[in-house]
Structure 1
C-alpha cells in the first residue's frame, strides 16, 4: 500500500485567511493566542503590527485593522482582555442590544466577585458583583454580554446620577428592548442598593403610563412639592374627538401638557392648538409645560400648577 505524502504546511496567505475567519466572528478583534493557533509566528505578528496593518490593543488583543473601533469591537477587546468569565454589562450591553440615541465613553464589564482580572484598559470599567451569574448570559453571537433586562437594571444601579438611571430604564422600555415586567423580575433580585427604591418607583411610574423621562420629572416634581398626583395619559372625550392628556387633575379640572421638541413641528402646531382650545372651552385649565422650561425654571412652572389647583379649590389639606 502506497503511503500518501504528508500535506504541505499551509502558506502564509492561508494562515492569514484562517485568522481573518476567526476575526470575522469577533468584529475583527483577535487574541495573540488565536493568532498563534492559526499558525502565525510571533515574528509574523510583529511584522503586521510594524507595517501598520494591525495594531495591538491592551495586553492580549490585536485589531486586524487600524481604523476606529466600533462599539462591538471595543466590547470584544474588553471581554477578551478581562478574562473568560467577563461579560459586557450595563449600558454597554444595552447598546449591543440595540439601544439608540445614547452613547458611552466607557465599556462596562462584570465579573464574579473575587475573580482574577487579567487586564483592564483605561476605557473599561470592570465591576466585581455578587449578582454575577452564568444564567445571565445572553444568547446569540457577539461578545459575551448580559441579558437585556439584567443589563438595564445594572445600568440603573451603576449610573452616575439618579436622572441617568431613570433615563436608561425609560429608554429601555420606550425602545421595546425589555418589558416593565422583565425589568421588575430582575429588580427583585437586588436585595440591597441605594438606588433600589428609585428604580422601583421609576418602574411603577412607567407601568402607570409615563412615556418619557420628562413626564417622570413632572411626577417627581409634584411629589417633592407635596402637590397631588395627577392621572397620567388620561383619556378625555369631547364633542370634537377624544384626546390623551399628559397629566390631568380630574377633581380640580387642571391639565398639564408636556411639550417636547416634536410639538414645535409645523404638523403638530395646529392640532395641539385645537386640542388645547377644545379642552379649555370644555372647562379645564390647560397649562403648557415645554421641556426646556422644565430644565431651566421648573419652580416657576410648578408654582403655576399650584396656583391653578388652588384657583380650582385645592388646598394642602385636601385629599390628593
Structure 2
C-alpha cells in the first residue's frame, strides 16, 4: 500500500504500538517487529530522517535519539542477532545483575547456521554450545547464570579472568557453585576444563584435603622445607588451627577459601591473624584462587619471608624442618 493513501491516524496508531513494544525492550525494536506492527520501511526512514528515531544496528532502531541504556544495548544485541539469539557468557551475567565487571562488547550466541553479523559493540558468535533450552524465560533473552558463568570462563581472556568470573557469579549470588559444577559437566574438551573443575571445588570449600597436596607439591617444586599442617594455637576465644606453619622461622600461611571474603568471617579471621602476629610470627594469606592463577607470585612472597627469617632454602618439601631426613 502507498503510505500516502493510508489514513494518518492509522499510521500514528501503528507507530505508537511499535513504540510501546520498544519501551518493553529498553527503547529499541527490530525491523522485523516493526513490520509485524504494520510499520513500513518507508515510515521507518521517515522517522529516522525526522530525527525522532535512530539506527542502532542494521536490523534495529531506537525510538529516540539519546544514548542507549544498558538494557537497551542488550536488547539491541539480541534483536540484531535474530529471533534465535540470546545473551551469553559475561554479557548474560551482567544482564543478570553482575557488578564490578565490564566487557567491551555485548556477546550473543546464535546457531551455527545463522547469518547474523557482528557490529561495533556487538559480538555475534556462532557456537556449538548454542542451546535454546538454557534461556531464561523472562526479560532480555539470556543464558541461565550457571551456564553463562561456565561459558564466560571458557571464553575469558586469561585463566585469572576465567576463575574471577565464576567466583564473582557465586559471590554475588547469581548462581551457586553446585549449579556451575553441574553445567561444567557438559564441557568435555577445553584447555581450561581442569582449572575450572578445581575452581568449583574451591568454591564448594571441599578442597582442604587436595589443597594440602597441592601446597606440598608447590613447596617441593621450589625447594622449600616441609611445613607443619593444622598447627594448634590457643587464643582468647579458644583453640584454632593454622593452615600452614614453619614454626622454626615463625612463618604462617593461611589458605583462604571463598568463605573468607564473606562478612561473617571477617572479624574472627582478623582476630586470629592479629593473635599470631603478636606472637612474633609473620602471617601471609594465600587465597585458593591465587593458588590457581598466581602461584609463582604468592610463593615468591613465602620464599622471601622464610629467607628473611633465616631459613636455608633449597631443601625439598620432603625434608624435615630440622634438616634430618623424613621417615
Whether TM exceeds 0.5 here: the answer is yes
* SS state at 1:23 partner: helix
Q: Distance in 1 between matches of 2:228 and 2:43?
A: 68
The 8 Å contact of residues 248 and 254 in structure 1, kept in 2 or not, is answered as no
Q: Distance in 2 between matches of 1:290 and 1:180?
A: 21
* SS state at 2:166 partner: helix
* SS state at 2:26 partner: coil
Query: By how many angstroms is 1:141 displaced?
Result: 1.9
Query: By how many angstroms is 1:11 displaced?
Result: 3.8
The 8 Å contact of residues 55 and 63 in structure 1, kept in 2 or not, is answered as yes
* Alignment length (residue pairs): 288
The 8 Å contact of residues 249 and 255 in structure 1, kept in 2 or not, is answered as yes
Structure 1 stretches lacking a partner, 5+ long? 1-7, 211-217
The residue aligned with 2:317 is 316
* SS state at 1:302 partner: helix
The residue aligned with 2:146 is 149
Q: Distance in 1 between matches of 2:48 and 2:223?
A: 64
1:193 paired to 2:194 = no
Alpha-carbon displacement from aligned partner over 1:201-231 (angstroms, at most 9, x marks no partner): 1112222279xxxxxxx97995774767997
Alpha-carbon displacement from aligned partner over 1:262-285 (angstroms, at most 9, x marks no partner): x9xxxx99x94x644422456x83
* SS state at 1:156 partner: helix
TM-score by length of 1: 0.74
1:302 paired to 2:299 = no
Which of 165, 170, 176 is equivalent to 2:167? 170
Query: By how many angstroms is 1:287 displaced?
Result: 2.1
Query: By how many angstroms is 1:86 displaced?
Result: 1.5
The 8 Å contact of residues 243 and 275 in structure 1, kept in 2 or not, is answered as no
The residue aligned with 1:240 is 236
Q: Distance in 2 between matches of 1:107 and 1:12?
A: 33
Judging changes above 3 Å, is the alpha-carbon distance between structure 1 residues 66 and 238 closer, same or farther for their aligned structure 2 residues? Answer: farther
Where relative contact order (Cα < 8 A, 6+ residues apart) is larger, the structure is 2
* SS state at 1:27 partner: coil
The 8 Å contact of residues 29 and 76 in structure 1, kept in 2 or not, is answered as yes
* SS state at 2:130 partner: coil
Q: Distance in 1 between matches of 2:300 and 2:97?
A: 38
TM-score by length of 2: 0.72
Q: Distance in 1 between matches of 2:198 and 2:78?
A: 33
The residue aligned with 1:249 is 244
Query: By how many angstroms is 1:64 displaced?
Result: 1.1
The 8 Å contact of residues 227 and 245 in structure 2, kept in 1 or not, is answered as no
Query: By how many angstroms is 1:33 displaced?
Result: 2.7
Q: Distance in 1 between matches of 2:240 and 2:96?
A: 31
The residue aligned with 1:18 is 17
Kindly report which structure 2 residues correspond to 1:1-320, keeping only aligned pairs within 5 A, or say none: 10-112=9-111, 114-142=112-140, 144-208=141-205, 222=218, 225=222, 238-241=234-237, 248-249=243-244, 252=247, 254-256=251-253, 272=270, 275-281=272-278, 285-288=281-284, 298=298, 300-307=300-307, 315-318=316-319
Judging changes above 3 Å, is the alpha-carbon distance between structure 1 residues 24 and 244 closer, same or farther for their aligned structure 2 residues? Answer: farther
Q: Distance in 2 between matches of 1:41 and 1:254?
A: 74
Alpha-carbon displacement from aligned partner over 1:70-124 (angstroms, at most 9, x marks no partner): 3322221222112222121000000011101111111111123x32223321322
Q: Distance in 2 between matches of 1:145 and 1:156?
A: 16
